[in-house]
Homo-oligomer: A and B are copies of this chain.
């Protein structure tokens, strides 16, 4: 059920993290170890900040491991902040409009996991989206609806608070429909300056989430990579599954926790507590 990664730091060629690292996100598309599915072959997406007012997007229905265009773009685009996502569809169609990241203005959004029984909740959740934004939902994933709910509930002012309200709203709507344990997964958000990530499940263990421990760790990961040996303090990677097994290189984000990576690489961690206000109050 999907794998993703985010990079914030000095500008790097995207392939450094997608293709040139051991067990990177493209390798995870074929051989995920910690995901609910080993194969994440139902489309790829990446969003990167660079030239242009809004981040660039590349969405492809081809499996990441065999996508010739992805290989080209990754080796020709540099970015100081990007997110990449490999998808394992669970029911919804394999189409570009279902590929992550989703974008709104400067904002990007990715998700690994699911909203349980989404078909039962979709109508009520879409009704809670700001009416002017309703027609902006062009795909059929749960994630796109979660993103537009979060935008409705203040993502652009306070992303983590908005996500707490969003997850709370989803849990409330699910309760009305007698859907148990509705929210599962990790979420990644960026505005081009910071990178936020959330690990949360309504019940039971949440999908895994990790942050690179520090630059020294990454240098140990890639001792032969001249670019990475030039890394600066503050470069940071967030991943749903570690790229490699170097002891000490990755710190696991606890469950029900949110992190914020700021420019400069500072990593702040705080509890993530859904705001379960009544649906009618939204």
Residues of B within 8 A of A58 (CB): 69, 72-73
SS class, residues of chain A in contact with chain B: mixed
- Tell me which of B57, B69, B75, B134 contacts A123 (CB under 8 A): B134
Nearest Cβ distance between residue A129 and chain B, in whole angstroms?
Answer: 9
- Residues 147-191 of A at the B interface (beta carbon under 8 Å): none
- Tell me which of B66, B94, B140 contacts A89 (CB under 8 A): B66
Residues of B within 8 A of A61 (CB): 62
Residues of B within 8 A of A122 (CB): 134-135
| Identical copies of this chain, number | 4
Residues of B within 8 A of A52 (CB): 13, 75-76
Residues of B within 8 A of A193 (CB): none
Q: Count residues of A near B (Cβ-Cβ below 8 Å).
A: 48
Nearest Cβ distance between residue A225 and chain B, in whole angstroms?
Answer: 16
Beta-carbon contact of B51 and A66 below 8 Å: no
Encode A22-42 as 1/0 by CB contact (under 8 A) with B: 000000001000000011011
CA distance A96 to B62 in the complex (A): 12
Given contacts A93-B68, A123-B134, A75 and B56 within 8 Å (CB-CB): yes
- Chain A interfacial positions (CB closer than 8 Å to B): 13, 30, 38-39, 41-42, 48, 50-52, 56-63, 66, 68-69, 72-73, 75-78, 89, 92-97, 118-120, 122-123, 126-127, 131, 134-135, 137-140
